Chains A and B, each alone.
Chain A
Amino acid sequence: MADYDLIVLGSGPGGYVAAIRAAQLGLKTAIVERENLGGICLNWGCIPTKALLRSAEILHYMQHAKDYGLAAENIRADLDAVVKRSRGVAKQLNQGVTHLMKKNKISVHMGTGVLTGPTSITVSSDKGSENLNAKHVIVATGARARDLPFAPADGKRIWTYRHAMVPGEMPTKLLVIGSGAIGVEFASFYKDMGAEVTIVEMLDRLVPVEDADVSAFLEKALKKQGMTILTGAGVQALSSGANGVSAEIKDRDGKIHKMDFSHAIVAIGIAPNSENLGLEGLGVAMTKGHINTDGLCRTNVPGLWAIGDITAPPWLAHKASHEGVIAAEAIAAELGNKDVHPHPMDAKNIPGCTYCHPQIASVGLTEEKAKAAGHKVRVGNFPFIGNGKAIALGEAEGFVKTVFDADSGELLGAHMVGAEVTEMIQGYTIGKTAELVEGDFIHSVFPHPTISESMHEAVLAAYGRAIHI
């Protein structure tokens, strides 16, 4: 007799959402968490960084008060207070998840869980250990920052995102290694807070998963803010001293530069938390430490499911949450619920958002990838300078780009950079999920005055009929 219908291992945005959805469907559900309910996302990731970036943004506006006809004097940033606010936001949400678990009658087991079979888990904490078993188990243990092999983060001078979120001191001269979402967000934060920032990216452009036009725009914008951008460059050595770090950086021409910084942030990607969970002993199929799953999040071991960063990319919180819902519904269906109809997710419909300054948001294929996949494309591009609201806000830098399949009118991808774009991308995401074609977007009425009118114009532009350019 199983203790539970479902045990979820890990309570990040994948795990806790899966648990709630399962509870809604009447499953007797437990969740196991070793550290904080809500996982990295809302304790150490997405949410607290947004709180930091908000402070930086307001500081930026205050410094530019004059542009808006206002005067502000003695503007100072109090790093400790900024960090304190960020931690307060994280704490509030952590308590929110605690409340949601209680409300949905989900049994919370704090401790480190190890699978002793496909559907049994031993949870150990300093209070002792307990054995749990269930009809199904979802693994949602997420991932962590990947270290540089030759210079592991020490939290003093060499930081991961986690150290960078609760800095003991303000960096004066910061090296950011890696220009994915995490790298450029911290680069933006510390730049706005007053640090001198250098970004080193191994590939030939910033934010390499984004469309090349977005990368080019971002590089220009960050350079204009005063950042040093080194693309096609690699950090070959990094050593931490009492007063800072020294780095050996090989530039795109192969020349080695020795440079000193006060701090370095390593943001070169993630490593899955798949070790010491008992997965190997169960014969769970994995690719480079990430668990292989089917469209409904099943692993190759019956009864064992996996969602989120522990599975295939994209490694994003909202992808994990959506997989949590799919897995919970598929499990309910297996346990006899006939009213749920889970649908596999299409990775091409998962949006991505980066909260650097300017913001980036995108969904679907880049122009390059669309062409490589054999599509004949129609591309539309609309700059914010043609949008009234953006000018009124003083945020006229940015653009929206659309990529359509020329034959079918399918929106293959959309790419945006500039103010508020992270709040707008969902419009295209809904359109892609509903499989709308160009005519549907064209016939939709976009409210005036909003920056979202640029989204309409970018569709019109792809068909040669944009109004404001």
Chain B
Amino acid sequence: MAIELKMPALSPTMEEGTLAKWLVKEGDSVTSGDLLAEIETDKATMEFEAVDEGVVSKILVAEGTEGVKVGSVIALIGSDASDVASGANAPAAAPTPAATPAPAPTPVPIATPAPAPIAPATSVASGARIKASPLAKRIAATRGVDLASLSGSGPNGRIIKADVEAAGSATAAVPLAPAATAAPIAASAAPVTAASAIPDFGIPHEDIKLSNMRKTIAKRLTQSMVEAPHIYLSVDVQLDALLKLRGELNTGLADRGVKLSVNDMLIKALALALEAVPQCNVSFGGDVLRQYHRSDISVAVSIPGGLITPIITDAASKSLSKISTEMAELAERAKAGKLQPHEYQGGTASISNMGMMGIKHFTAVINPPQAMILAVGAGEKRPYVVDDALAVATVMTVTGSFDHRAIDGADGAQLIKIFKQLVEKPMGLVA
């Protein structure tokens, strides 16, 4: 009896992925925990581990195949070597993903033994193939979570209660990303954006295939600009006091191997400003406005081939040194492509800093379902009026982009004002 190996969902938002590389070949024996394949998700390349044991009898999706839907069968695993032969006669191979619409991950109903007298085992979808704890199965059945769509974090890839609850909360968050639910199939089957074909004018060129990360960036930023009316509020901020404080703090922190960057301090300032103006720490959800009770700051980090936003959770209550060490560690792993989904999915507001590239002023696209992002320009010496006299000061220009459906201009302005005050009188950042 062959076991169907299905495309795993390696993150709560993953709908499809690229089967980047098979790490096993037909005829290989696998045991639970063996690495089967590398799957490229929308943000990272992740390893797919075996949860069952047996012999790989048939590989149905060739490596390099893009757009493989979550839940579609990618290989068959037999209980022993004799299944390798029968695997060749396996019923119709999984549909080639690009050609046909996503097969709904229909659970194969399996005759279940007589239900337990007290709590009838709610027909757990294809229970025999999914390793999940009894409690995870029970909760999934109650909440209508499809276990086949989850990857397990328990021993040997077992799905445990925490995985189902995490999926449950991800589902609850879906209404906040209308485009993602409105037409998931269309969105994933068709090219990610409605960009029309590029006409060929005979100019020498090459076409480079989009990575999944690039597709996700394109999809989400388009969604943001189309759905969220952006307003932009800019202000000049004098940096001298903050730079002085940073110098003093870094002298004291040198022994601990911590070196605060200006950006670390701005992360904290933004988080504190959001706590002061909670009207800006929100998501627009169509029928509801979600008001967050914590400021989780997504920080744009440029990585080869794109951009990722690792999150400093609860940045308002973290010390600058904590933010700095966390940020350094997250950025390093981001660049190595090793962030876990929970480390870059979520966040209540974003910050993007192009100061190091000398950019004076720019506006950023809101990262949905968030409702604001702060674009930070370079700190530079400028002629500046201090106490009614022209002086030289280090000044940067920051620009907040706000989702005007959710945030009024006055509230946005208040946030920017408090941010400016925190930066110009920076003792508040260490208090």
Contact = CB atoms under 8 A, between A and B. Distances in A.
Interface string A399-424: 00000000111100000000000000
Nearest to A283: B256
Interface stretch (B135-143, B385-393, B400-408): B135-143
A435 B142 contact: no
B190 interface: no
Nearest to B120: A439
A435 B134 CA distance: 6
Nearest to A436: B134
Chain A interface size band reads: 20 to 34
A410 B321 CA distance: 41
Interface in A116-146: 118
Interface string B240-263: 000000000000010111100000
Contacts of B33: 339, 341
Contacts of A285: 322
B101 interface: no
B142 A282 contact: no
A442 B116 contact: yes
B160 interface: yes
B105 interface: no
Chain B interface size band reads: 20 to 34
B134 A439 contact: yes
A343 B154 contact: yes
A440 interface: yes
Given A435-B133, A435-B134, A410 B118 contact: no
B216 interface: no
A408 B135 CA distance: 7
Nearest to A411: B135
Nearest to B118: A463
B287 interface: no
Nearest to B253: A283
Interface string B143-169: 000000000011100001100000000
Nearest to B116: A439
Given A282-B256, A442-B118, A437 B134 contact: yes
Q: Which of A302, A408, A435 is packed against the most chain B CB atoms within 10 Å?
A: A435
B204 to A, nearest CB: 44
B362 to A, nearest CB: 33
A300 interface: yes
Interface SS majority for chain B: helix
B135 A302 contact: no
A343 B155 contact: yes
A445 interface: no
A283 B133 contact: no
B256 A439 contact: no
A443 B116 contact: yes
A118 B33 CA distance: 33
A69 interface: no
A288 B258 CA distance: 24
A434 interface: yes
Contacts of A434: 133-134
Contacts of B325: 300, 302
Contact of A343 (B134, B135, B153): B153
A439 B133 contact: no
B121 interface: yes
Interface in B86-139: 116, 118-119, 121, 133-136, 138-139
A411 to B, nearest CB: 9
Given A283-B258, A437-B119, A439-B119, A409 B138 contact: yes
Interface string A320-351: 00000000000000000011010100000000
A254 interface: no
Q: Which of B118, B155, B325 is packed against the most chain A CB atoms within 10 Å?
A: B118
Contact of A408 (B35, B142, B256): B142
Interface string A6-28: 00000000000000000000000
A438 interface: yes
A439 B138 CA distance: 11
Interface in B217-272: 253, 255-258
A437 B135 contact: yes
Contact of A409 (B35, B135, B154): B135
Contacts of B256: 282-283, 301
B200 interface: no
B206 interface: no
Contacts of A300: 322, 325
Nearest to B136: A435
A281 interface: yes
Given A283-B256, A283-B258, A410 B135 contact: yes
A435 B131 CA distance: 12
Nearest to B139: A408
Nearest to A338: B35
B30 to A, nearest CB: 14
Nearest to B34: A339
A127 B102 CA distance: 72
Contacts of B207: none
Nearest to A346: B162
A269 to B, nearest CB: 28
B139 A439 contact: no
Nearest to B258: A283
B161 A410 contact: yes
Nearest to B115: A439
A443 B329 CA distance: 48
Interface string A38-62: 0000000000000000000000000
Contacts of A282: 256
A408 B138 contact: yes
B33 to A, nearest CB: 7
Given A343-B155, A435-B133, A442-B116, A281 B255 contact: yes
Contacts of B118: 438-439, 442, 463
Interface in A192-210: none
Contacts of B134: 434-437, 439-440
A408 B35 CA distance: 33
Nearest to B321: A283
A463 B117 CA distance: 11
Nearest to A410: B135
Nearest to B326: A300
A295 B45 CA distance: 24
Interface string A72-105: 0000000000000000000000000000000000
A408 B139 CA distance: 6
A302 B332 CA distance: 13
B155 A436 contact: no
Nearest to A443: B116
A236 to B, nearest CB: 38
Interface in B316-351: 321-322, 325, 329
Given A437-B138, A439-B119, 14 more contacts: A118-B257, A283-B258, A283-B321, A285-B322, A338-B35, A341-B155, A409-B138, A434-B133, A434-B134, A435-B133, A435-B134, A437-B119, A439-B118, A439-B134
14 contacts: A281-B255, A282-B256, A283-B256, A283-B321, A285-B322, A301-B256, A302-B329, A338-B35, A343-B155, A409-B135, A410-B161, A436-B135, A442-B118, A463-B118
Interface of B: 33, 35, 116, 118-119, 121, 133-136, 138-139, 142, 153-155, 160-161, 253, 255-258, 321-322, 325, 329
Nearest first, the 6 A-B pairs at minimum CB distance are: A435-B133, A435-B135, A439-B116, A283-B256, A437-B134, A410-B135
